[in-house]
C-alpha cells in the first residue's frame, strides 16, 4: 500500500467511531422498527392495511396533519412579525430581542406545557380574569383539546420559526429598501414587493423546520391534549406501551419517518436544505 | 420645460456633536449636471441623501423650482436615484426592475411595457430584459440602475458614486455614456463622487466640499483655473504651492516676494486678493511649467536640479529641487522636453505670469 493510501485509511479509521455510533443508535433501531411493522403480530402488510381501513388510524393522521399545519401557520405568522421587528431594531435592542426569543428554548418543554395548563384551565388565570371582567359567564374550554395543543405547540415553535427567517431577513441589503422608497414605493409597497419576496427563502425554511418538528411532537400534545386529542407520537406510545400492539405502533412510526423524508425531499427541490439548516451555503 | 432647478438653502445636518453638513447653500439651474465632490467624510453623500429625502436636515431647506420639499418623504419627491452598488432587486428580472417605479405608481401594464422598452433602449440593454441582475456584468447592472432611475420621468436624477465600483476603462466608457445621456434627455443630474477627473469631465457645476463645508462652487474650468483655497487646488488636480509676501496687489496682478526672488503674478480673472505686505500662497499647476531651452526666457524663471523624474508615455513628470522655492513639480509633454531628464541634471523652469493664482489657506 502506498503512502497516500495509508493516509486515507487513517482518515477512515478516524471516522469509524462516528459511523459505528450512527449505525448502532440510529440505523439499527429504525431497521428494527421497520421489520417489526411487517412481522407483528403476523408477517405481511396487515398493519399497513389499517391505513386504508381503520377509521381510528385515519383520524389520528388527519388530526396530526391539521394540528401541524395550523401550528406551522401561526408559528410562521408570529415568527415573521418578531423576526421583522428584530431586523428593524437597533443593534442594542436586537440582542435583547434575540435573547427573549432564545430563553424559552432553554426551559424544559414539560415545564412550559404545565405552565400553559395553569394559565388555560377552567380556574386558570385567563378564564378567571375574563370572568371577573364579566366578559364571559362560563369558563372557556381552553385546554385539553386541540386549541390547548395548538397554543402550546405554537409557543414552542416560534423560536424555531424566528431563527431561519431572521437569518434570511438580515441578508436583505437595507440599501434595496431605501432604493425602493427612493423610486416611489410607499412603506407598504416596499414590504410587499421587496422585503417579503426576499425573505421567502427564510419563510419556507422555517415552515419546513416547524412542520417536521411538529409531526413528531409528544409531550406538549400529551399534556395539553389531556388524552382526548391524540397526535401520532402519543398514539404510537399508547399502542406500544399500553396496548402492546407493537406492529401497529411501529407501522405508524415508519409512516412518520416516511412523512418527514417526503417533506424534506419535496422542499429540497425548492430550497437549498444545507443552507436552510445553517451548514455551508453562506 | 424638462429639467428642474434645485436649491439648497443653509442646509445643515448634525449627528450629536458631529456636523456632517455645515451651512451649505447652492443653486443648480434646470438641466445642469451638478457634482458634489469631496474626500470621504466631507458630507457630500449626506447632502445627496438630504436631497433624496432619506436624511432629515437639522436646519435649512431643499427647494425644487422654488418650492420647499424638505418635509416630503423620499417616495413623494419623484427623484430617480442610482445607488452606490446599484441596489438592483435581485429577485426581479431586468425588465421588472425597470418597471418597478411604474408599478408602484399604479401605471397600466401597457404603459409600463412601452416605457420599460424605451428606457432599456436608452441604455442599450433591450436584449437583456429577461435576465436577472446577477447574470449581468457590473457595467450592465449600472445601466439597468440608470434605466430604472429614469423610466418614470423623474424631477431629478441623483447619482451616488455611480461609477466607483467599475474598473478604470469601463468607468471612462460609462462617463462618456452618462454625459451623452445627460445631453440627450436634458434632465437635472446631481452626482456624488470623490473622483476629481469624473467631476471635471461630467459636470456643468462642481461643489467642492470638505469637513461638511462648501469650499467652492462653480464650473469645472473656473474651479480648476482659479481655485479659491489650497484644498481646492490640491484636491482638483495637482498643484505646487509657493509661499511668500504679497507686494503691490491690484486688479491686474502682484508680485510674490520669496527669499530668493520675486514671482510675477498677473490675474487672469477675479481671484482672492492677498493683503499688501501680508503672507500669500500661490497655486501653480505642474502642466503650466516648462523646461526652458538655453537662451530662452519666460516671465518667471527658476533654476534647480532634477531630483526625480518619471516617464509617463505621453510626457515626463519632474520633481525639481530649487534653492528657495523648495520642490517644484512639472509635467511636460515628452516632445516638448529640450533634454532627456536625468537625476541631478540642472534645469531652468519657466512659467507665464498668469499661470499661478493666489489661494487662501483653508481654515483649520
- What is the rounded radius of gyration, in angstroms, for the C-alpha atoms of chain B? 24
A159-195 residue pLDDT tens:
999 999 999 999 999 999 999 999 999 999 999 999 9
For residue A260, give how far its alpha carbon lies from the nearest alpha carbon of chain B (Å).
29
A56 DSSP 8-state letter = H
Same domain, B258 and B178: no
For residue A193, give how far its alpha carbon lies from the nearest alpha carbon of chain B (Å).
9
Task: Say what the pLDDT of residue B351 is.
Answer: 94
Asked if B152's CB is within 8 angstroms of A178's CB, the reply is no
User: What is the C-alpha separation between B196 and B215, in angstroms, rounded?
Assistant: 15
What residues of chain A have any CB closer than 8 angstroms to a CB in chain B?
A: 173, 175-176, 178-186, 189, 193-194, 197-198
Task: Say what the pLDDT of residue B73 is.
Answer: 92
Q: Per the structure, how many domains does chain B have? A: 2
Strand, helix or coil at B361?
coil
User: What is the C-alpha separation between B93 and B208, in angstroms, rounded?
Assistant: 38
Smallest Cβ–Cβ distance between A182 and the set B52, B90, B105 belongs to B52
Q: Is residue B364 part of a domain?
A: no
Q: Is residue B127 part of a domain?
A: yes
Mean pLDDT of chain B: 90
Same domain, B220 and B236: no
Task: Say what the pLDDT of residue A116 is.
Answer: 92
Check pLDDT > 90 for residue B96. Answer: yes
Among the three residues B208, B227, B246, which one is the final residue of a domain in this structure?
A: B227
Residue ranges of E strands in B65-197: 67-68, 79-82, 156-160, 188-193
The answer to whether the CB of B209 falls within 8 A of the CB of B215 is yes
Q: Which chain A residue has the Cα nearest residue B83?
A: A179
Cell of B23: 451651512
The four Cα atoms A31, A36, A38, A43 give a dihedral, to 10 degrees, of: 140
Asked if A183's CB is within 8 angstroms of B101's CB, the reply is yes
B163-212 residue pLDDT tens:
887 888 888 888 888 899 899 888 999 999 999 989 999 999 999 999 99
A1: confidence class by pLDDT, cuts 50, 70, 90: low
Q: Is residue B95 part of a domain?
A: yes
User: What is the C-alpha separation between B209 and B207, in angstroms, rounded?
Assistant: 6
Size of interface A-B (CB pairs under 8 A): 61
Asked if A178's CB is within 8 angstroms of B74's CB, the reply is yes
Q: Indicate which CATH number applies to the domain containing B129.
A: 3.40.50.300
Task: Say what the pLDDT of residue A250 is.
Answer: 93
Q: Is residue B1 part of a domain?
A: no
Going A63 to A67 to A73 to A74, the CA torsion angle's sign is positive
Same domain, B254 and B277: yes
The answer to whether the CB of A42 falls within 8 A of the CB of A181 is no
Q: What is the mean pLDDT of residues B259-276?
A: 85
A97-108 residue pLDDT tens:
999 998 888 888
B-chain CB neighbours of A203 within 8 Å are none
Across the beta sheet with B290-291, the strand order is: B290-291, B346-351, B300-311, B315-322, B327-333
- By CB atoms closer than 10 A (0-12, 13-18, 19+), residue B278 is exposed
A74-122 residue pLDDT tens:
999 999 999 999 998 998 999 999 999 988 888 888 999 999 999 999 8
Cell of A24: 448502532
Among the three residues B195, B227, B259, which one is the final residue of a domain in this structure?
A: B227
Same domain, B204 and B239: no
Check pLDDT > 60 for residue A281. Answer: no
Q: Is residue B147 part of a domain?
A: yes
Strand, helix or coil at A169?
helix
Superfamily covering domain A27-276: MetI-like (1.10.3720.10)
B-chain CB neighbours of A178 within 8 Å are 54, 74, 83, 87
Asked if A184's CB is within 8 angstroms of B152's CB, the reply is yes
The boundaries of the domain holding residue B80 are: 6-227
What phi and psi values does residue B24 have, to the nearest 5 degrees? Answer: -100, 125
Asked if A175's CB is within 8 angstroms of B85's CB, the reply is yes
For residue B179, give how far its alpha carbon lies from the nearest alpha carbon of chain A (Å).
22
Going B123 to B128 to B133 to B134, the CA torsion angle's sign is negative
B162 DSSP 8-state letter = T
Q: Which chain A residue has the Cα nearest residue B154?
A: A183
Q: What is the mean pLDDT of residues B144-152?
A: 93
Nearest one of B124, B227, B219, B233 to B181, comparing CA atoms: B124
Number of Cβ within 10 Å of residue A74's Cβ equals: 19
What phi and psi values does residue A46 have, to the nearest 5 degrees? Answer: -50, -45
For residue B142, give how far its alpha carbon lies from the nearest alpha carbon of chain A (Å).
14
Same domain, B63 and B16: yes
Task: Say what the pLDDT of residue B231 is.
Answer: 94
Domain ranges of chain A: 27-276
Task: Say what the pLDDT of residue A282 is.
Answer: 35
Residue of A183, A187, A198 to mutate, testing the B interface (most B Cβ within 10 Å of its Cβ): A183
Smallest Cβ–Cβ distance between A186 and the set B75, B79, B103 belongs to B75
Same domain, B205 and B337: no
Sequence-distant (6+) residues with CB within 8 A of A232 are A60, A61, A64, A215, A216, A252, A255, A256
A-chain CB neighbours of B149 within 8 Å are 183
Same domain, B121 and B142: yes
Check pLDDT > 70 for residue A56. Answer: yes
Asked if B84's CB is within 8 angstroms of A179's CB, the reply is no
Among the three residues B227, B247, B267, which one is the final residue of a domain in this structure?
A: B227
Asked if A198's CB is within 8 angstroms of B54's CB, the reply is no
Total residue count of chain A as it appears in this document: 282
A205-237 residue pLDDT tens:
999 999 999 998 999 999 998 878 889 999 999
Q: Residue B244 belongs to what H/E stretch? A: strand B240-247
B220-257 residue pLDDT tens:
999 999 999 999 999 998 999 999 999 988 888 899 98
C-alpha distances (whole Å) from B311 to each of A61, A178, B51, B315, B333 are 83, 47, 44, 6, 10
Cell of A261: 423524508
Smallest Cβ–Cβ distance between B100 and the set A175, A178, A183 belongs to A183
Amino acid at each position: 500500500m502506498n503512502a497516500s493510501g495509508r493516509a486515507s485509511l487513517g482518515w477512515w479509521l478516524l471516522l469509524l467511531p462516528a459511523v459505528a455510533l450512527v449505525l448502532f443508535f440510529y440505523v439499527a433501531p429504525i431497521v428494527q422498527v421497520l421489520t417489526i411493522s411487517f412481522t407483528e403480530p403476523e408477517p405481511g402488510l396487515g398493519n399497513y392495511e389499517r391505513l386504508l381501513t381503520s377509521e381510528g388510524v385515519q383520524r389520528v393522521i388527519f388530526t396530526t396533519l391539521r394540528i401541524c399545519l395550523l401550528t406551522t401557520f401561526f408559528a410562521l405568522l408570529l415568527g415573521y412579525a418578531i423576526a421583522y421587528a428584530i431586523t428593524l431594531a437597533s443593534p442594542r435592542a436586537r440582542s435583547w430581542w434575540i435573547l427573549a426569543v432564545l430563553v424559552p428554548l432553554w426551559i424544559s418543554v414539560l415545564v412550559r406545557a404545565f405552565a400553559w395548563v395553569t394559565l388555560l384551565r377552567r380556574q386558570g388565570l385567563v378564564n378567571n380574569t375574563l370572568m371577573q371582567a364579566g366578559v364571559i359567564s362560563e369558563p372557556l374550554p381552553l385546554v385539553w383539546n386541540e386549541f390547548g395543543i395548538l397554543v402550546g405547540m405554537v409557543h414552542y415553535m416560534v423560536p424555531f420559526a424566528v431563527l431561519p427567517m431572521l437569518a434570511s431577513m438580515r441578508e436583505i441589503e437595507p440599501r434595496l429598501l431605501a432604493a425602493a422608497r427612493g423610486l416611489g414605493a410607499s412603506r407598504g409597497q416596499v414590504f410587499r414587493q421587496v422585503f417579503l419576496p426576499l425573505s421567502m427563502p427564510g419563510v419556507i425554511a422555517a415552515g419546513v423546520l416547524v412542520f417536521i418538528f411538529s409531526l413528531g411532537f409528544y409531550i406538549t400534545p400529551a399534556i395539553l391534549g389531556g388524552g382526548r386529542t391524540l397526535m401520532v407520537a402519543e398514539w404510537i406510545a399508547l399502542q406500544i406501551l399500553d396496548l402492546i400492539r407493537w406492529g401497529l405502533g411501529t407501522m405508524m412510526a415508519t409512516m412518520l419517518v416516511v412523512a418527514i423524508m417526503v417533506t424534506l425531499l419535496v422542499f429540497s427541490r425548492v430550497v437549498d436544505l444545507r443552507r436552510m439548516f445553517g451548514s455551508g451555503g453562506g | 420645460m424638462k429639467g428642474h432647478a434645485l436649491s439648497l438653502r443653509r442646509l445643515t445636518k448634525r449627528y450629536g456633536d458631529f456636523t456632517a453638513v455645515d451651512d451649505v447653500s447652492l443653486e443648480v439651474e434646470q438641466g445642469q449636471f451638478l457634482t458634489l465632490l469631496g474626500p470621504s467624510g466631507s458630507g457630500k453623500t449626506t447632502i445627496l441623501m438630504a436631497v433624496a429625502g432619506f436624511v432629515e436636515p437639522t436646519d435649512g431647506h431643499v427647494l425644487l423650482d422654488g418650492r420647499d420639499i424638505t418635509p416630503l418623504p423620499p417616495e413623494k419627491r419623484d427623484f430617480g436615484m442610482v445607488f452606490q452598488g446599484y441596489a438592483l432587486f435581485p429577485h426581479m428580472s431586468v425588465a421588472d426592475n425597470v418597471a418597478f417605479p411604474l408599478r408602484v405608481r399604479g401605471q397600466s401594464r401597457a404603459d409600463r411595457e412601452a416605457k420599460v422598452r424605451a428606457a432599456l433602449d436608452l441604455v442599450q440593454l433591450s436584449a437583456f430584459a429577461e435576465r436577472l441582475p446577477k447574470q449581468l456584468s457590473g457595467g450592465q447592472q449600472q445601466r439597468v440602475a440608470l434605466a430604472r432611475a429614469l423610466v418614470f420621468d423623474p424631477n431629478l436624477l441623483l447619482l451616488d458614486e455611480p461609477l466607483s465600483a467599475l474598473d478604470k476603462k469601463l468607468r471612462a466608457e460609462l462617463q462618456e455614456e452618462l454625459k451623452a445621456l445627460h445631453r440627450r434627455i436634458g434632465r437635472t443630474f446631481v452626482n456624488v463622487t470623490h473622483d476629481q477627473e469624473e467631476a471635471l469631465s461630467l459636470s456643468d457645476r462642481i461643489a467642492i466640499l470638505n469637513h461638511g463645508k462648501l469650499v467652492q462652487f462653480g464650473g469645472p474650468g473656473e474651479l480648476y483655473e482659479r481655485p479659491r483655497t489650497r484644498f481646492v487646488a490640491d484636491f482638483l488636480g495637482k498643484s505646487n504651492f509657493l509661499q511668500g509676501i504679497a507686494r503691490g496687489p491690484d486688479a491686474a496682478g502682484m508680485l510674490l516676494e520669496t527669499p530668493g526672488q520675486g514671482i510675477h503674478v498677473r490675474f487672469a480673472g477675479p481671484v482672492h486678493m492677498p493683503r499688501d505686505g501680508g503672507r500669500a500662497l500661490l497655486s501653480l499647476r505642474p502642466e503650466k511649467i516648462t523646461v526652458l531651452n538655453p537662451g530662452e526666457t519666460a516671465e518667471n524663471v527658476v533654476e534647480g536640479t532634477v531630483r526625480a523624474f518619471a516617464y509617463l508615455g505621453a510626457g515626463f513628470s519632474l520633481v525639481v529641487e530649487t534653492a528657495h522655492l523648495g520642490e517644484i513639480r512639472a509635467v511636460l509633454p515628452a516632445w516638448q522636453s529640450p533634454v532627456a531628464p536625468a537625476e541631478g541634471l540642472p534645469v531652468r523652469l519657466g512659467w507665464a505670469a498668469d499661470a499661478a493664482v493666489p489661494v487662501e489657506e483653508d481654515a483649520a
